[in-house]
Structure 1
Amino acid sequence: MCPLWRLLILLGLLALPLALRKQPWSGLAQAHRDNKSTLARIIAQGLIKHNAESRIQNIHFGDRLNALAQVAPGMVGWLISGRKHQQQQESSINITNMQLDYGGIQMSFHKEWFSANISLEFDLELRPPFDNNIIKMCAHMSIVVEFWLEKDEFGRRDLVIGKCNAEPSSVHVAVLTEAIPPKMKQFLHNLKDNLQEVLPQLVESQVCPLIGEILGQLDVKLLKSLIEQEAAYEPTHHESSQPSACQAGAPPS
């Protein structure tokens, strides 16, 4: 029995340093997750406090598409696949129900630089130029905003809000109306493709300045403190999230 007890004690002593080495890294990883969660929560609270969704809704994307049509003749025709001018005037796209995914904000870090990935989703109501029935659609995209700490001439670090854009690869437009006439299917297919091309440009030019303005009013000291803690941790990347109802939507067959 003695040799067996000695063996067990020896194995326990050998395992002790390994356990001690793991504990600090486990704590650091937990702190890292907590920091990401805290940063995402601060950003979400700031967007809610400053009524981001209502202010984005007030941009009136549909009206801006009409304005583009007046400035650049044929814009609406391009959006709806080149219908005749008279038909273009009778068609309309109404954009409603702007929603930001406050609970799904994802953070990425690299030293004193970080980015926030914020999902934007909204509904579209299309009144075709050759049909009185309204077709319901939805659009989903990811807005990525970059931040970093920048030193001034006195060595003080300020929070700087950098590039903001809607990632083209994240844009998804889905048709929600199930009963689609056969003659409409190609029309909707072309419309979806064109919207996926033009919507990121509208978001970048109209929504991003608003997002930047709101985030610029956040608690800079707290953000800086969390970023400084993250500077000692290895870089992380965006995590995958569950698809929204709009992302899961399928085009009519």
Structure 2
Amino acid sequence: MFQIAGLIVFCGLLAQTTVQSAPDENVPVDLTSTLLDLPASLISALSDNLLSGGLLNSLQTLPLLDILKSGENAPSGLLGGLLRKANSVTSLLNNIIDLKITNPQLLELGLVQNPDDRRLYVTVPLSLVINVKTPPVGSLLKLKVKLNITAEVKAVEDDHENVYLVLGDCTHSPGSLKISLLDGSGSLPAQSLLDSITRILDKSLPELVQGKVCPLVNEALSHLDVSLVQSLVDELISGQLVIKV
């Protein structure tokens, strides 16, 4: 009888211990710590979602060769100044230019907040290498390309008080396109060729990248963890979100 009573008392104490320990798992300090990490959590989640969503493959398969072939449809386009004596610059470009995009990279995302409303701005910095080959003269140029896409992320609330993160404006950052020569060899003047390529890509590459990346950003937002979105939107709406630069 004593043993049974002892067991009952022991189980009662264990139950009390179990009940009392539950609230400790959700103390305000832990919640505050989590909220302070919201911007970093958002950046990390967006980066992961962009990569898993095929961002790098989209960059590597950009149809840059078609853009360079079309150029400006005139001798002033790619290689135009170097091949003026050719019967058809376009025909030569179709035959001699081989272009490959290698080493696409997603660099560290940036995040800033508009202090006046519920908007965030995510900077998506991209980098890739373009190999341009001209077989007849054995020339190989390696170009480094960097470009930023800026995505506006807005917190919205519907009639049922449900909150969401949605993609607003998404565009390339003006002036962020940088093209530099990594390596060049052969008889063709590397700088002249670089100038010609840069002239064409300046006009078309930003919009081309934007068209590929922005839908992926929208998809990445839709796959964010629900609890992360809820916490982030709550802090954004209340004006308590703090982003450390």
Describe the SS at the equivalent of 1:78.
coil
Q: Percent identity, aligned pairs only? A: 21
TM-score by length of 1: 0.67
Aligned partners of 1:168 and 1:197 also within 8 Å:
no
Code of the residue aligned with 2:63 in structure 1: it is F
Answer with 1 or 2: which has the greater Rg: 2
**What runs of 5+ residues in structure 2 fail to find an aligned partner?**
1-31, 84-88
C-alpha separation between the residues in 2 aligned to 1:88 and 1:98?
A: 24
Query: Secondary structure at 2:139's aligned position in 1?
Result: coil
Aligned partner of 2:231 in structure 1 is 225
Letter in 2 for 1:39: L
1:135 to 129, 134, 141: 141
Which letter maps to 1:195? L
Which AA in structure 2 matches 1:86? S
1:190: which partner in 2? 196
Equivalent residue, structure 2, for 1:88: 93
Deviates more, 1:114-123 or 1:33-42: 33-42
3-state secondary structure, aligned to 1:165: strand
Find the aligned partners of 1:175 and 1:153 in 2 and give their Cα distance.
54
Paired position in structure 1 for 2:55: 52
How much has 1:177 moved relative to structure 2? 0.8
Long gaps (5+) in structure 1:
1-27, 240-253
User: Residue 112 of structure 2 aligns with which residue?
Assistant: 108
Count of residue correspondences: 204
Match of 1:164 in 2: 170
Structure-2 change in CA distance of 1:230 and 1:159 (3 Å): closer
Paired amino acid for 1:61: P
Q: Secondary structure at the match of 1:119?
A: strand
Aligned with 2:131 (options 122, 125, 128): 125
Kindly state the Cα deviation for residue 181 of structure 1 after the two structures are TM-superposed: 4.7
Instruction: For residue 159 of structure 2, give the secondary structure of its aligned residue in structure 1.
Output: coil
Q: 1:57-76 residue pairs with structure 2 within 5 A?
A: 57=60, 59-65=61-67, 69=70, 74=73
TM superposition shift of 1:31: 7.8
Q: Distance in 2 between matches of 1:76 and 1:51?
A: 37
